[in-house]
A and B are shown apart, each in its own frame.
Chain A
Amino acid sequence: MNTNHKTRDTAGAPILAAAGMQFFGRMSAAATHEIKNTLAIINENAGLLEDLTLMAEKGQPLSTERVKDISKRLAKQVHRADLILKKLNRLSHSVDLTRERVDLEKAVIFVLDLAGRLLEMQQVTVEITPPPSPVVVDTNLFYLQTGIWMAIDMACCCADQEKQVNISFGTDSTIPSVWFSMGRADKDQKGDNMKALFESVEDQALLAYLGIVIEKNNKNNGFGLLWTKCG
Chain B
Amino acid sequence: MSEKVLLVDDEKEFLEIMSERMRARGMIVTATESADQALSIIEKESFDAIIMDFQMPEMDGMEALKAIKKKRPELQIILLTGYATVEKTVEAMKIGATDFLEKPADLEALVEKIKTAKAEKMLLVEKQTEEKIKDILQRHR
Chain A residues close to B by CB (< 8 Å) = 29, 32-33, 36-37, 39-45, 47-48, 51, 73, 77, 120-123
Contact = CB atoms under 8 A, between A and B. Distances in A.
A117 to B, nearest CB: 9
21 contacts: A29-B83, A32-B83, A33-B55, A33-B83, A36-B83, A37-B11, A37-B103, A39-B104, A40-B11, A40-B103, A40-B104, A41-B11, A41-B14, A43-B103, A44-B21, A44-B104, A45-B17, A48-B20, A121-B55, A121-B57, A123-B58
A121 B104 CA distance: 20
Interface of B: 11, 13-14, 17-18, 20-21, 24, 55-58, 80, 82-83, 103-105, 107
B110 to A, nearest CB: 11
Nearest to B105: A40
A128 B73 CA distance: 45
Q: Which 10 A-B pairs have the closest CB atoms?
A: A36-B82, A43-B104, A40-B103, A44-B17, A40-B104, A33-B82, A39-B104, A41-B14, A121-B57, A36-B103
Given A32-B82, A43-B105, A121-B56, 20 more contacts: A29-B83, A32-B83, A33-B82, A36-B82, A37-B14, A37-B82, A40-B11, A40-B14, A40-B82, A40-B103, A40-B104, A41-B11, A43-B103, A43-B104, A44-B14, A44-B17, A48-B20, A51-B21, A73-B17, A121-B55
Give the dominant DSSP class at A's interface: helix
A47 B22 CA distance: 11
A37 B80 CA distance: 10
Contacts of A47: 17, 21, 107
A39 B58 CA distance: 23
A47 B21 CA distance: 8
A85 to B, nearest CB: 15
